[in-house]
């Protein structure tokens, strides 16, 4: 009669326990508190807007739409627990412009610049009448020709003013908002936006 190895379940249980303990120790050692500084004010030169300022846009019938910059907000220092196996946990900081406009008096973020201390990532996040989009001028601009919804102009003239490195983004989803296109660049921010339903073109005034 063949003998049954009754030690197998016990050995399996011990092996699993040791494996679980090893994994726990590995991930415990991976934990590390990371202290992140707030936004460095020397980076403010990378940001488009300052206070006090009022952005005035006009359409083709001389109607006005104004955006009032109420506050420039900077991220504050913070601490978080890094759980990455290789202890690669970048700190993020940001600067943002809080505004009101001709349609709403409730402050909202019009532009937010978010960056990392571990890479050259620097996202500019826009909110034009509910149409939200983002662009990394450092890493995405060299590949803009590969993005169907974006068009790059080395120069573009609005009225009598010519701007450099202008990008036009086209919105293909009109279920959430009525903005069709937005023209913008890093230095000057939003330069023009077009409404889908009315086809009104609003251009920045200087």
In angstroms, rounded to a whole number, what is the distance separating the alpha carbons of residues 111 and 47? 9
Tell which residue, 88, 142, 139, 85, has the closest CA to residue 114. 139
Domain boundaries, the chain: 8-204
How confident is the model over 147-169, as pLDDT tens digits?
999 999 999 999 899 999 999 99
Q: How far is CA 69 from CA 9, 45, 58, 141, in A?
A: 69, 17, 17, 27
| Residue in this structure with the two tokens 């990532």, named with its chain if needed | 121
pLDDT < 70 positions in the chain: 1-30, 85-87, 174
CA distances (Å), 181 to each of 36, 85, 116, 191, in order?
37, 43, 29, 11
Alpha carbon distance 75, 192 (integer Å): 28
């Amino acid at each position: 009669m063949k003998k049954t190895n009754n030690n197998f379940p016990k050995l399996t249980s011990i092996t699993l326990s040791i494996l679980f303990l090893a994994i726990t120790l590995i991930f415990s050692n991976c934990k590390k508190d990371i202290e992140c500084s707030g936004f460095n004010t020397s980076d403010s030169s990378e940001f488009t807007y300052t206070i006090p300022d009022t952005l005035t846009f006009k359409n083709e019938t001389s109607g006005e739409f104004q955006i009032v910059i109420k506050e420039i907000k900077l991220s504050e220092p913070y601490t978080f627990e890094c759980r990455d196996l290789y202890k690669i946990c970048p700190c993020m900081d940001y600067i943002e412009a809080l505004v009101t406009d001709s349609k709403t008096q409730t402050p909202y973020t019009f532009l937010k610049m978010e960056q990392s201390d571990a890479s050259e990532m620097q996202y500019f996040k826009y909110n034009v009448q509910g149409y939200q989009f983002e662009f990394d001028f450092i890493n995405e601009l060299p590949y803009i020709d590969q993005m169907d919804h974006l068009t790059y102009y080395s120069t573009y003239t609005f009225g009598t003013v010519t701007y450099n490195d202008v990008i036009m983004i086209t919105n293909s989803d009109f279920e959430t908002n009525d903005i069709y296109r937005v023209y913008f660049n890093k230095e000057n921010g939003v330069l023009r936006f077009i409404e889908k339903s009315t086809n009104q073109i609003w251009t920045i005034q200087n």
